[in-house]
Amino acid sequence: LCALSLFACSNSEADMNDKPGTNIAMLEKFIKLNPKPDAAEWSVLEGETGSGLGPTDSALVALLTYSASDYPSAEKSLTESGSAQGGLMRKAPKWLPRSATQSAMNAVGEGFDFGTRAVSAETFASPPFNQGFAVIYPGERKVLVYLITQ
Please tell me the predicted confidence (pLDDT) of residue 14: 42
Lowest mean pLDDT segment, chosen from 55-59, 72-76, 94-98, 114-118: 55-59
Spatial distance between the Cα atoms of 16 and 114, rounded to a whole number of angstroms: 22
In the predicted model, what is the mean pLDDT of the chain?
Answer: 84
Residue 48 binned pLDDT confidence (cut-offs 50, 70, 90): low
Each residue's pLDDT tens digit, 7-29? 444 444 444 557 899 999 999 99
Is residue 135 within a helix (H) or strand (E), and if so which, with residue range? strand 129-137
Give 131-145 pLDDT, tens digit per residue: 999 999 988 999 999
Q: Which residue has the higher pLDDT, 134 or 115?
A: 134
Instruction: Give the model's pLDDT for residue 107.
Output: 86
Residue type, 125: A
- Distance between CA 87 and CA 65 in Å, rounded? 20
